[in-house]
Every structure is written in C-alpha cells, then in structure tokens.
Amino acid sequence: MNKSKIKHLESTIWQRRFWEHSIRDQDDFNCHIDYVYWNPVKHGYVSRVADWQYSTFHRDVKAGLYSESWGGVDVPTFEPTNFGE
C-alpha cells in the first residue's frame, strides 16, 4: 500500500474509477461479451476478432454462438486526403 491508496481508502485489488455493474438480462450479457471480444480490435492488437488467440471467442465459435467471421471486417485506415467536400 502506498500513501495515495491509504489516503483514498483504496485496496490493492481494484483500480481507481472501478465501478460494479450487475448484468440486467441476456441482452446486457451479450453486449458485454461483444465488448470484450471486440476490445483487441478496438485497441489495434489485431484486425479481426478471430485473430486474437487468447480469446474465448474461439470456444463460442465452436459452440455455434458466433460465426468465425463475426467482427472480422478489417478496420479501414483513413488518410486526411480521403476526406473532403
């Protein structure tokens, strides 16, 4: 424990700005799973969800819950010259 954690009554487990969220229903659960699966693409680690080898996405594909191509669209990169009127 450092002085800042003691001052703010923080533990060593949870990060600052952490908040708890209860899953409300199946749709909410599905949205959270999609969010987790999409994060490696969002942060630029891979261009397709299926390319992230550490994901349980592969388990869900085998179970028939997702297709292998879900989230498989390459994210386009835009050059400033591609925009205009």
How far from chain centre, in Å, is Cα 2?
Answer: 30
User: Which entry of 35, 37, 54, 66 is annotated as an active-site residue?
Assistant: 54
Do residues 39 and 31 lie in contact, with contact meaning Cβ atoms separated by under 8 Å? no
37 catalytic? Reply is no
Q: Rg (Cα) of the chain, in Å, rounded?
A: 19
Active site residues: 54
